[in-house]
Amino acid sequence: MDSKEAFRPYVSPSENPPELTATSVVVGVLLAVVFGAANAYLGLRVGMTVSASIPAAVIAMGVVRVILRRRSVLECNVVQTVGSAGESLAAGAIFTLPALFLWAREGVMKKPDLVEITLIALLGGLLGVFFMVPLRNALIVREHGTLPYPEGKACAQVMLAGEEGGSGAATVFAGMGFGGVFKLLVDGLRLVPGEVSLQGSAKTYPGAIGTQIYPAVMSVGYICGPRIASYMFAGGVVSWLVLIPLIVLFGSGIVLYPGTQPIGELFATAGAGGIWSTYVRYVGAGALAAGGIISLVKSLPLILRTFRDAVGGLSTSAAAGRLRTERDLSLRTVLAAILFLTLAVWLVPAVPVTLVGAVIVVVFGFFFATVSSRMVGLVGSSNNPVSGMAIATLLIATLILKLVGQVGAAGMHAAIAIGSIICIVAAIAGDTSQDLKTGYLLGATPKKQQIGELIGVVAAALAIGATLYLLDSAWGFGSPELGAPQATLMKLVIEGIMGGDLPWALILVGVFLTVVAEIIGIPVLPFAIGLYLPVQLNACIMAGGLVRLFLEKRKDSARREKSINRGTLFCSGLIAGEGLVGILLALLTVFGVSELPNLSLPDRWSQMGSLLLFFVALFTLAAVSLRKEKGKS
């Protein structure tokens, strides 16, 4: 395709610098374990994880280039590829597996042992990588100009800035400093809240609007651009300014499942957020399921062409003729591995999944690997709602298990195991595609990156079981310290289906909203993600998109391009700096380090302080983008 012919990676395909070395693997494995543990805690506490690709890239530059004095940017790339796998595997595991601990506490079943957790994580992680391999050409190469992969692009910018030095590096490191200090002030020293919200009353207009103030979230909107950001924000507006007010206005005195109190009383005690978490998230789950099906159907021709091309490259002569930057793991190896792993899901005694469950894992695993890989291409790994995909999987898998007679505790155990594997598949597939995008821009060898991803998955899987046991022993899942919101929702979904009282009406509302979006030409995945995610996050992404829109309206094309590129570099630094400090704060908490001083502003000034910092971040992003380099007009 034209985009492929026009594109030239940083490292030429004719060069062969070090990539998958002992140094890159050892450093990457250490990062995979650390990021996996830190993000397991974060996700269980706040329901979101921090993408580790860019922090891993920054650490790789520091360790490999500065400390070890090695000069290969592709070696640094393998470090971040291996290291980021830990965070993604942790995200998939913590959104589902804690449900088993919750059921054990209720006496429904025994607590899962370390072998079961490790095998589920390992099988899901390996399948996620292998499912992504044949999709690389379709999603990364053929759609290079269509799918931005914001974090993959930002990660490449970080490493290239460190490689080339100069003003680009200064811009990236300035962003890192700004993002790190911002994160420390908001989440470390708690100077101001990280979110500003405005909510109406039940008698007037019970909607809510607001924004997060984090520069990293803002940067996602800037890198994705105003078009995608606006579709996400539109989904958030529908959820928070249409659906929530309608639910409160028409159902004030009604107790509607899955709620346990009158809607008006729920709104009075928990606000719009309570309505969203109790009802609207089911709408979002339905929207994501429908969006995923529509996306897969539309992608089928491209996927089939990709498999045809992969089959055509099986011969030795074809493999020998390919450029270094076009070499993937062989399709024979990939298909054999998927078959072996599928049999393992079915036959290994420690994994409570039957043949029917193994078939569900393969079918829905590949489906959501495709959807996840496209989704992170639009909105980045940090905003990839893998828990929403897991909910969609659990809806169908639990129904099938119930139909074939696998009910009760055994059926619930099997359903969460299937959901866990597929959730991890989706998380790892998204991370792999983001890393392969970075490698594509840098000129890495895909096969070596894919091997690195497999190594990272194995390392993280071996550590995640002990991490979950440690956190459950320290605080207990479902406690104020570790609310495990996604896992609690998964538990509710499975119990609802097994008990026959799942709120299908809410799920179908989401399905048909997505169908309407497709009919009128709105890209369904960004819109569905907006429906599912909090409007405050969508608004912050929209703010970054508006800064990008402002720059795109400049008349001078040369200056416009330079400004946008400079802003992208700065955003890369913002994401990296905030991610590094976020992981540092998580590690301090996990290892029991005493809390930092609390510098919170008085309540009457806190919201104003948050807005002030938000506008400072927006202004700084715009100012850095528009800054002229010294000596240049």
- Cis? peptide before 446, omega within 30° of 0: no
Element (H, E) at 529: helix 524-532
H helix runs in 331-445, sequence order: 331-347, 355-379, 386-403, 408-442
Cα angle 88, 369, 361 (rounded to 5 degrees) comes to 100
Asked if residue 201 belongs to a domain, the reply is: yes
Asked if residue 462 belongs to a domain, the reply is: yes
Asked if residue 631 belongs to a domain, the reply is: no
Asked if residue 550 belongs to a domain, the reply is: yes
Q: What is the pLDDT of residue 301?
A: 78
What SS3 state is found at 581? helix
Sign of CA dihedral 261, 265, 269, 270: positive
Label residues 382-405 b or e (16+ Cβ within 10 Å = b): bbbbbbbbbbbbbbebbeebbeee
Q: Could you tell me the two tokens for 128?
A: 């996620």
Asked if residue 555 belongs to a domain, the reply is: yes
Asked if residue 89 belongs to a domain, the reply is: yes
The contacts of residue 248 (CB under 8 Å, 6+ apart) are 202, 206, 263, 264, 267, 275
Asked if residue 633 belongs to a domain, the reply is: no
For 123, the domain range is: 2-626
**Residue 335 to residues 125, 143, 160, 303, Cα–Cα distance (Å):** 16, 24, 35, 15
The residue type at 368: F
Average pLDDT of adjacent 10-residue blocks, the chain of 633 residues: 63 90 91 81 66 71 71 87 89 90 91 94 96 87 82 83 63 87 90 91 91 89 88 94 95 86 92 91 84 76 64 47 83 93 94 92 88 79 70 86 89 93 93 93 94 96 90 78 77 84 86 94 86 89 94 83 85 79 74 74 89 95 81 45
**Does the reported pTM lie above 0.85?**
no
What SS3 state is found at 593? coil
Question: Which DSSP string corresponds to 48-101?
Answer: -----HHHHHHHHIIIIIIIS----HHHHHHHHHHHHHHHHHHHHHHTTTHHHH
The contacts of residue 108 (CB under 8 Å, 6+ apart) are 409, 412
Q: What is the pLDDT of residue 574?
A: 86
Number of domains in the chain: 1
What SS3 state is found at 198? strand
With tokens 């104003």, the residue in question is 608
Element (H, E) at 38: helix 22-46
Asked if residue 340 belongs to a domain, the reply is: yes
